[in-house]
Amino acid sequence: MYDLLIRGGRVVDPKNGVDAVLDVAIEDGRVVEIGEELAGCAKETLDAAGKIVIPGIIDMHTHMRTLFGHPHAQRMIALAGVCTTLDMAGPTDNILDSIPGSGAGVNIAILEAARAPLTLSCDRPAKAEREALIDRVLEEGAIGIKLMGGHFPMDLDISQALIEEANDKKAWVGWHVGNTVNGSNILGLRDAVAAAEGKFLHVAHVNSYCRAQVRDELSEALEAIDLLKANPNLFSESYLSPLNGTRLTIENDEPVSKVTVTCLKKVGCTPDYAGMQEAILKGYAGVLRDDGVIGELISGPEGVEYWKSQNTVTSGSFAVNPATSRFLLAQAKRDNGSFVVDCFSTDGGTYPRNVIVENGLLLVQFGAVTLNEFVVKASLNGALALNLPSKGHLAVGADADVSILDFDAKKAYATVVNGKIIMKEGQLLGSGTGIVCDERGEAALTKRGIRAIVKGALDPQAIVNRHLC
């Protein structure tokens, strides 16, 4: 008897060339049979008639931490149809500790921030300290490190050394580009591409460097595309959401975040207490509030009242990602047919911008990508890059991670992880968390009673040979 039978959905699985109305049978967390009108009995049946059934969505850029009073990140992605995600800053111990209360049944791979004074003693740590950090994070259950150049830039030579050392140790390395000379913009991207010197590097949220900070967003997006095309060693993702994430805290009549200063100027408000209040009141900025289950952005008088009640110590969003660059980055292809930007991402989790399904299916409706290509960017490419051969497709033997989508509503209908329904029609049904780890981290996770999903070693050549559509 099957554990779960997903009946009668349109199964779209680009890796195996499948696009047909089929049943998917699941047992012990694996796909055990796939075919037309399967006859076997099942403990549970999910009727997917009229829905699209795809390999579990992998969001390659989110934040799952529960710090700052936002414990809802896992619930947010489960509701959004995401099965697996790459957390882009940790802290690893916070995420692991939060599983009993915040686990929603999803899978998380973690990058630990390489950042003084939290994980490094200073901005120019010696080689031994840098290597010890990489070893430690792998042994604790993370898969690598993240350079936080946008918020906490380091000198270019130190950033470059960390990329090299991570590659040597076969650890994942992500970079929100920016160094002590050039910031989080197209110039910082140029520096990062040069610093990687042909080695593996995950360029975080490419769209962030195409926000018309140096030139106009169109020419910035075209340059970013050219840089990525010329350097196939770089893995990248870009958002589909217009919303950024920042801190709305004001100290001494000034925003504590440089990003917030830029955003306030952009929407025509002064970078001070009065300007921040005006931006929230007029809806240019939303304040993030945890409603006990999910995070929501509130603006207008209600937003201002909440922001004041927290003495301004809040996070929030401005809609600053231009549509032009998001669109170009979403659909650009290389000469061989593979995508320039490997994956759709959201930087969601904590922030309510988990819109791979909503905005990705709109791109399909618009004709910018096919449904098959949507699945490549939403699931398969992430699985290939992470070296998780049993994810990203639905052949017999694959992990039973499945996203079931309602195309007309542009919404996730159900999320299945490890053979269990963790979300159906907006109802959260999951608990616990699977942690995608390096083989060096399995023991520590198992000891803590956490479900460890051991990925294959970092394979830079697989990135270069990316999936051809």
* Cβ partners under 8 Å of residue 426, min gap 6: 79
Minimum distance, C-beta of residue 150 to Zn ion, in the bound complex (Å):
9
What is the C-alpha separation between 303 and 403, in angstroms, rounded?
33
Asked if 31 is part of the footprint of Zn ion (rule: CB under 5 A), the reply reads no
Residues recorded for the chain: 469
27 or 347, CB closer to Zn ion?
A: 347
DSSP assignments along 392-460, one per residue: SS-STTSB--EEEEETTTTEEEEEEETTEEEEETTEE---S-EEEE-GGGHHHHHHTT-EEEEPPPP-H
Minimum distance, C-beta of residue 273 to Zn ion, in the bound complex (Å):
27
CA triplet 243, 151, 280: central angle to 5 degrees? 40
- Judged on CB neighbours under 10 Å (0-12, 13-18, 19+), 151 is middle
What is the C-alpha separation between 303 and 300, in angstroms, rounded?
5
113 or 228, CB closer to Zn ion?
A: 113
Neighbours of 36 (CB within 10 A): 9
Which tokens belong to 139? 């042994």
Asked if 347 is part of the footprint of Zn ion (rule: CB under 5 A), the reply reads yes
Q: Which range in 219-227, 295-303, 344-352, 440-448 contacts Zn ion by CB under 5 A?
A: 344-352
Asked if 24 is part of the footprint of Zn ion (rule: CB under 5 A), the reply reads no
Minimum distance, C-beta of residue 173 to Zn ion, in the bound complex (Å):
15
23 or 347, CB closer to Zn ion?
A: 347
* Cβ partners under 8 Å of residue 66, min gap 6: 73, 94, 95, 98, 101, 102
237 or 347, CB closer to Zn ion?
A: 347
* Cβ partners under 8 Å of residue 128, min gap 6: none
29 or 178, CB closer to Zn ion?
A: 178
Q: 52 φ, ψ to 5°?
A: -105, 130
Asked if 59 is part of the footprint of Zn ion (rule: CB under 5 A), the reply reads no
Asked if 113 is part of the footprint of Zn ion (rule: CB under 5 A), the reply reads no
Minimum distance, C-beta of residue 208 to Zn ion, in the bound complex (Å):
9
Asked if 177 is part of the footprint of Zn ion (rule: CB under 5 A), the reply reads no
What is the C-alpha separation between 156 and 165, in angstroms, rounded?
14
Asked if 343 is part of the footprint of Zn ion (rule: CB under 5 A), the reply reads no
Binding mask 289-328 for Zn ion (x = CB under 5 A): ----------------------------------------
Minimum distance, C-beta of residue 349 to Zn ion, in the bound complex (Å):
9
Minimum distance, C-beta of residue 146 to Zn ion, in the bound complex (Å):
8
343 or 444, CB closer to Zn ion?
A: 343
Question: Which of 22, 57, 79, 88 is close enough to bind Zn ion by CB under 5 A?
Answer: 88
179 or 207, CB closer to Zn ion?
A: 207
Minimum distance, C-beta of residue 389 to Zn ion, in the bound complex (Å):
27
77: closest CA among 67, 68, 86?
Answer: 86
Summarize as ranges the residues that interact with Zn ion (CB under 5 A).
Answer: 88, 347
